[in-house]
């Protein structure tokens, strides 16, 4: 199946918010507490409005979606890196795919798109943060060539979780 990667428009905000919630449920069940994931659906109106605001005022981020057969199946957000020690780098802020589309090469297509855009913007490297317990995503990044750089931070998402940082050299 062919996918299209395109900018998200303000009128896509509702579908983008639904996609965000469903992708998180697929990716984080067993990692983030179930109550947190279940509560995301009850916040759909607020999440739709936040999506609309982010899309309308991207503040240096690119908000994109992957579409197959007219349905949003994945999301991608990238920007200049927000970390003080990597200000010259690009960052993949979010890359998600619905579970029904995992293992079919669509994630690689989305990542290829992001990397090509970050290279065009002349970033020498790109970083991505991932939950330490998200072994599926970590394996994906490692197969793609990202290297764990030893940087980590604690975040609160229903409980304290650890995020680890991966980097990819774009100059090679």
Block means of pLDDT (10 residues each) for the chain, 172 residues, are 93 97 97 96 95 94 96 97 95 97 96 97 98 97 97 96 98 90
Query: Between vectors from CA 10 to CA 118 and to CA 14, what angle results, nearest 5°?
Result: 105
pLDDT at 120: 97
Rounded Cα–Cα distance for residues 30 and 119 (Å): 35
Rounded to an integer, what is the distance from CA 80 to the centroid of its chain?
14
Q: What is the domain-level CATH number for residue 153?
A: 3.40.630.30
pTM score: 0.94
pLDDT at 2: 84
How many domains are there within the chain? 1
Rounded to an integer, what is the distance from CA 61 to the centroid of its chain?
12
Query: Which three-class secondary structure string do you get for the chain?
Result: CCCEEEECCHHHHHHHHHHHHHHHHHHHECCECHHHHHHHHHCHHHHHHHHHHHHHCCCCCEEEEEEECCEEEEEEEEEECCCHHHCCCEEEEEEEECHHHCCCCHHHHHHHHHHHHHHHCCCCEEEEEEECCCHHHHHHHHHHCCEEEEEEEEEECCCEEEEEEEEEECCC
Which residue segment(s) compose the domain that 70 sits in? 4-169
Expressed in angstroms, the distance from the first to the final Cα of the chain is 30
pLDDT at 49: 96
């Amino acid at each position: 199946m062919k996918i299209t990667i395109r900018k998200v428009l303000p009128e896509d905000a509702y579908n983008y918010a639904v996609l965000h919630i469903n992708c998180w449920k697929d990716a984080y069940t067993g990692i983030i507490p179930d109550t947190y994931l279940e509560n995301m659906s009850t916040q759909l109106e607020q999440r739709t409005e936040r999506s609309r605001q982010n899309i309308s005022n991207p503040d240096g981020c690119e908000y994109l979606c992957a579409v197959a057969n007219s349905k949003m199946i994945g999301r991608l957000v990238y920007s200049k890196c927000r970390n003080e020690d990597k200000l010259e780098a690009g960052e993949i802020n979010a890359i998600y795919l619905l579970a029904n589309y995992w293992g079919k090469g669509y994630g690689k297509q989305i990542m290829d798109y992001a990397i090509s855009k970050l290279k065009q913007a002349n970033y020498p490297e790109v970083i991505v943060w991932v939950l330490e317990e998200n072994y599926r995503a970590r394996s994906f990044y490692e197969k793609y060539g990202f290297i764990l750089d030893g940087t980590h931070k604690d975040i609160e998402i229903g409980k304290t979780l650890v995020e680890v940082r991966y980097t990819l050299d774009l100059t090679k």
